[in-house]
Chains A and B, each alone.
Chain A
Amino acid sequence: MCLRTMGTLPARPDSWVKRSLLPVLSAGLFLWSAAPAHAAGTGQRIEKQFSITGRPVVVIHNVANGRIEVKSWKNSQVDVVGTQNSNKIGFEIEQVGDRIDVTATILEPGADLLDLQANLQLTVPEETELQLKTETGLIYVEQVMGDMKLESYAGDVHLKEVSGYIIVKTTGGSLVCTQCAGKLDFSSIGGSAQILQPQLNNVNLMTTTGNILFDGDFVRTGLYSMKSGKGLVEVRFSSTDSFDLKAQTATGIVDNQAAAFLKPDSHGVKHIASKFTHGLFGTVGMGLAKVELSSYSGTIRIMKRD
């Protein structure tokens, strides 16, 4: 059926095409001319590279909102890329020896929140010491070896394949640590912590209301302490692990789903539980690592993986 006969198309196709295309072309032209100006006005990018001779120390203080991402490469250089939504934030980047300081400062405190967003992307040598501090926005660190102190008020912290002495402090942000090695200290009020497939030999986790999940192996002779005031503390271990376990709670409960694998203390130490708390003591394997779980009023769950 012909469309023209249905009255869908005008009788004179040529003039219809001209009339229809004109506004579209005009709109397109307007948007094309406006778009670059908009981008130049709001989206800004800064990139700097610093050569280093030894193990660098990178210090970031991001008072703006935004994400900090740190990855590693084989080069002896630190690459810093900062992007911002507006010129209401200023970046100060400074190198002194092998130390690099990056500070994002708010130039107009009363500006709109969206205008106060600044993201930082760093590429650093594999062995780098990090000191990152942000207020909100994710901190993401991947494949970096070295001591690191990561602080955030409201932002989460995600670590993947990092090693060293890792200190994470948040107010409300959570931690996800995947395949981390070395020593880990985490403290938070409302944030949770997930430790997945770790190779950590010293772990201290403390949160007031958040949850804690430790899913992985306990390194022989390692020390592990996990405490949550009101949240859930869950540990998933494997049958080949070797650790002594002490779990205690003041008003919460201990949910032991691995009773078959926990035997009385193999070292012959007689544990006397406080009459004010309830909990359990036990050993898995030879009891080579030491694991302490506690919660004031939350649940402690002990499980065996697979």
Chain B
Amino acid sequence: MQCKDVELVLEHEGLEPLPEEARAHLAECRECRNYIADLTSLVDAAKKLPAEITPPDRVWIALRAQLEEEGIIKVPAEVLPVEQSSWWQSINAFFSNRVLATAMVGILIAAAAVFQIRSDRTAPVVSPDRVAGTGTSIPAAKTAGAELAELSVPQTSGEFDRTARDLSEQEPVATGMIVASRSPIDASLRDNLKKVNEFIAECERHLKEQPQDELTREYLSAAYQQKAELLSAMIERGRSIN
């Protein structure tokens, strides 16, 4: 029996009782013994954990905020009658059941994955010349910060369309709020916005040529997220200095 066979045995049958062959291998293989020792200590530690841990409220609040922020859940527009439990209590009650919560998260992930795959398949490939021709639309009241907006990304196709459009709308607002500032912090924010815009543009160009490149897609997605956070930081900063 080889090391990988022992791993298979452990995977299928658990820690004990180990078959004779596996025990014979262990007697000769120090690495496998260490491996089993690690597993045993993990199992022991897991057994010492309390059966149920009720997470503090802040965990649920943070989780909910994150789900809302990502647009996975939305606050219901209608107000429920007073005598009924509130939406938050319902969510809380729903999520207090660990199995249901896990199932819910699983469903959300699966739905997101299906959506992603479908978007990939249906996303039309836009030719580079068309991309070059599509600039960011900037409001008529062009602020001095719009110079940065002009550097912003060409409009994209597929799953990033809406994100790109939303961010393009926010960008002149955010840059306009700190445009008059000579503070090095604001200069740094503007500089980093330029960097992220250039990077997004680079990824976009690459994706036009190779739409199936998942790695570039991941980087593009992360860059959009960073840009969103940066614009939010600029707006927050703009409010504080104004």
Contact = CB atoms under 8 A, between A and B. Distances in A.
Interface in A244-261: 248-251
Contacts of B202: 296-297
A209 B195 contact: yes
Contacts of A154: 184-185, 188-189
B153 interface: no
B206 A250 contact: yes
A136 B202 CA distance: 29
A268 interface: yes
A126 B14 CA distance: 40
B226 A187 contact: yes
Given A113-B183, A208-B196, A208-B199, A250 B240 contact: no
Contacts of B3: 286
B236 to A, nearest CB: 10
Contacts of B242: 109
Interface in A272-298: 274, 276-277, 286, 294, 296-297
Contacts of B38: 220-221
Interface centre among B215, B226, B230 (most CB of A within 10 A): B215
A230 B192 CA distance: 13
Interface string A37-75: 000000000000000000000000001010000000000
Given A208-B199, A251-B206, A277 B192 contact: no
Interface residues of B, number: 35
Interface string B220-242: 00110010001001000100111
Interface string A205-222: 010110000000000110
A276 B219 CA distance: 14
B4 A189 contact: no
B210 interface: yes
Contact of B215 (A171, A187, A189, A296): A296
Contact of A190 (B192, B219, B237): B192
B215 A277 contact: yes
A153 interface: yes
A230 B31 CA distance: 39
B199 A276 contact: no
Contacts of A206: 222
A50 to B, nearest CB: 22
Interface string B84-107: 000000000000000000000000
B170 interface: no
Nearest to A116: B183
B147 to A, nearest CB: 19
A136 B199 contact: no
Interface in B37-58: 38
A229 B31 contact: no
A60 to B, nearest CB: 16
B216 interface: yes
B223 A208 contact: yes
B241 to A, nearest CB: 5
A229 B215 contact: no
Given A135-B237, A154-B184, A268-B4, A172 B213 contact: no
A220 B39 CA distance: 12
A199 B223 CA distance: 29
A221 B184 CA distance: 43
Nearest to A230: B199
Contact of A171 (B192, B240, B241): B192
A189 B237 CA distance: 17
Given A209-B195, A250-B216, A274-B214, 8 more contacts: A65-B185, A187-B226, A208-B226, A229-B222, A286-B31, A286-B35, A294-B215, A296-B199
14 contacts: A113-B183, A135-B185, A136-B185, A153-B188, A190-B188, A190-B191, A190-B195, A208-B196, A229-B199, A229-B219, A250-B216, A267-B7, A276-B214, A296-B215
